[in-house]
A and B are shown apart, each in its own frame.
Chain A
Amino acid sequence: MALLEARGLIKIFGKLTALNGADLTIAHNEFHGLIGPNGSGKSTLMKCIAGAETPTQGTVTFAGRDITQASPAERARAGMSLKFQITSVLPALTLYDNILLALQAQTSLLNLALSRTRGVLHDKVMAMLEQFRLVDRAHEPASALSHGQQQWLEIAMALAPEPKLLLLDEPTGGMSLEERRVTGELLQPIKARCSLVIVEHDLDFIRDICDRLTVLDQGQILQTGSVQHVQSCPRVQEVYLRRA
């Protein structure tokens, strides 16, 4: 059974049809890239999956459960995690607290008030920071990080609760070539632990880490399949690859 199935998603904003019957299937431990020209509906599709937008029509099923009308918090509790396109770390808080905030989200309010999981989560926080090469800045405010490091911190925050599905919306946006390469390295080890849907403009980056690829154009799925298969599709080359 697929981990995520989106069927016939339509999203209309006023007179604009951002998604027009999009389907997407994600298997367990699959790394799936979403590409397409600007305005093709990639981010809207991500938002419909994550719960930031409710589709006008269509269904989203996650781990066998219909979550089309579920709130973002309910989806997160079901095992879905999102990194926003615009970096949204909490700048006033330390890196440590940013990660702890993500990790403790499913702790009951009583246990939060009594700080019962703080000790238990400490090692996990430090391990996460170490994995993303931020451990020596653990107690600095997130605002002190470079843009690329903030992106890593946000990926670490999204990954910290050990989601079944990680949604990354342009994780390398604004990064240098070296930072992109490192980001690819940081993401590879998570393959054994969760599935990944990633929206990216950098096709080389997508090629390096994804198993499958979906191309969107004008709110519709143009092609989906293995990276090689999609790349060789003439229609895709015409619509997207030439523009890229």
Chain B
Amino acid sequence: MTETTPLSAVSLTRGISASRQWRVLPMIEIAVLVIGLLLPLVLQDYLTVYATRVLILCLFALSFDLVWGHAGIMSFGQAVFFGSAGYGVALLARDLGITSMLLVLPAGVLIGFAFALLLGGFLLLGRHPASVIFVALGTLTGSYACDRLARGWYYLGGQNGIPSIPPMTIGSYELTEGPAYYYTAIGFLIVVYLLCRFLMRSQFGLALAGLRENEQRIAFFGYKVQHLKAIIFSLSGAIAGLAGSLYAFHEGFVWPNMLGVVISTQVVLYVLFGGSGTLIGAVIGTVVIEAVSFWLSNSYQDIWPIILGVLLLLVILFRPAGLVSLLLSERERVGSFGRPGKR
């Protein structure tokens, strides 16, 4: 039998130990932020363009970390929301001449949200809980089907996609690739990251943790698990949509691969490699994979995919909690939700 301790004493000692535990994650986040903000000052222009692409992919990876790392929903079809938003804003720009950031980015967010709601409604909202495998295969199939649809649809440019998208505009200013686009992308990444961080550390985040750990159990507490799933899946679709819109204008064209299984799988690898369920793990995983790919493809042009594959395999086998687990304790990685003021 355990002896009881006065509540105030327990609260005090636990409070102290909790605050001691919570130092590493914010330090990593601040370090990543500082590096991200200073990077264009030291990078050559072509590398700034590459880094911008990586930042947008970080945003995309956050969308997957929300559904898998926090809610336990294995989506192998995140590219559907990424690519559909990309195509959507490309069509707005090509056919209607709409390139204003104030219109195209909300449109991209809405498109991603709507597609996620549609696919999520179909896969997740049955009377009985859908299994992880069912959702993974269902989303993968959705991604494949969208890819094939885009390849065969003349209006969407078929195999070639939609080229020569005009630049996104803010008023009369044209936002072209380079430092300006980089800081725009990092601005969106910071805002989305902070919103996700706030939400995942809220009581809603605790409900999602319950969903991830034991869906049946929390249903017996009275949670409407289908609503939780629909909300987080749609939210993740909206973020992927934002990323897809930024990507489309940054690259200047969209093509069917943006909807397909390759990029859907790629985003899974980013998050697994960095460490799921931490948000920062998604960012680190994306940056490390893209940076290593870039370096390897220059240094070992013939065998770099093999080296990268082995590296990914090693991390996933020996560090299943991802790279961040090298720095974060299990306790801090899982997180705690309950103590006001001790976040």
> Which residues of A come within 8 Å of B, CB atoms?
50-52, 71-73, 76-77, 81-82, 84, 88, 90-94, 96-97, 100-102, 104-107, 109, 111-119, 122, 125-126, 130, 133-139, 141, 149, 157, 161, 178-179, 182
* Chain B residues in the interface with A (C-beta under 8 A): 1-5, 7, 10-11, 14, 17-18, 199, 202-204, 206-207, 209-210, 213-214, 216-225, 227-228, 231, 331, 334, 336-340
Most buried by B among A50, A81, A97: A97
Complex contact A114–B338 (CB within 8 A):
no
Chain B binding surface, main DSSP class? helix
- The complex places the Cα of A76 from the Cα of B5 at a distance, in Å, of 32
Q: Given that A109-B227, A114-B202 are contacting pairs, would A101 and B218 also be in contact in the complex, using a CB cutoff of 8 Å?
A: yes
Inter-chain contact A112/B204, CB cutoff 8 Å: yes
Give the Cβ gap from B218 to chain A, nearest Cβ, in Å: 7
- Chain A residue contacts of B338, Cβ below 8 A: 94, 96-97, 100, 118, 122, 125
Chain B residue contacts of A130, Cβ below 8 A: 4, 7
Given known pairs A126-B7, A135-B10, A139-B14, the reply for A112 and B203 (CB within 8 Å) is yes
Contact among A97, A102, A178 with B337 in the assembled complex (CB-CB below 8 Å): A97
B8 closest partner in A (C-beta): A126
Total CB contacts across the A-B interface at under 8 A: 138
What are the 5 A-B residue pairs with the smallest beta carbon separation, nearest first?
A: A76-B222, A105-B221, A105-B222, A112-B204, A112-B203
Could you write out 6 A-B pairs with CB less than 8 Å apart? A73-B224, A101-B210, A112-B203, A113-B204, A136-B4, A139-B336
Of all chain A residues, which has the CB nearest B341?
A119
Knowing A90-B210, A117-B203, A138-B14, the reply to whether A161 touches B334 (Cβ < 8 A) is no
Known contacts A73-B219, A106-B222: A100-B206 contact under CB 8 Å: yes
A39 to B82, CA, bound (A): 52
In contact, B220 and A50 (Cβ under 8 angstroms): yes
Contact A109 B231 (CB under 8 A): yes
**Complex contact A97–B336 (CB within 8 A):** yes
Please give, as numbers and ranges, the residues of chain A lying within 8 Å of B334 by CB-CB distance: 92-93, 141
**Interface contact B202-A73, CB-CB below 8 Å:** no
**A112→B200 CA distance, assembly (Å):** 11
Give me 5 other A-B pairs in contact (C-beta within 8 A), A73-B222, A113-B202, A133-B2 excluded: A92-B334, A94-B336, A97-B337, A111-B203, A130-B4
Check if B203 sits within 8 Å of A72, measured CB to CB: no
Q: Chain B residues near A101: list those with CB within 8 A.
A: 206-207, 209-210, 218, 221
Collect the chain A residues with CB atoms within 8 Å of residue B209's CB: 90, 92-93, 97, 101
Residues on the B chain within 8 Å of A107, using CB: 203
Identify A119's interface contact among B1, B11, B340, CB under 8 A: B340
Cα of A148 to Cα of B203 in the assembled complex, Å: 28
- Contact flag A115-B202 (CB < 8 Å), given A100-B338, A134-B2: yes
Cross-chain contact B7 with A135 (CB below 8 angstroms): yes
Contact A109 B206 (CB under 8 A): no
Cα A120 to Cα B327 in complex, Å, equals 34
Assess A84 versus B4: contact at CB under 8 Å? Given A100-B203, A113-B199, A139-B336.
Answer: no
**B contact residues around A118 at 8 Å (CB):** 203, 337-338, 340
User: What is the distance, in angstroms, from A70's C-beta to the closest C-beta of chain B?
Assistant: 11
Chain B: which residue is nearest A148 at the CB level?
B1
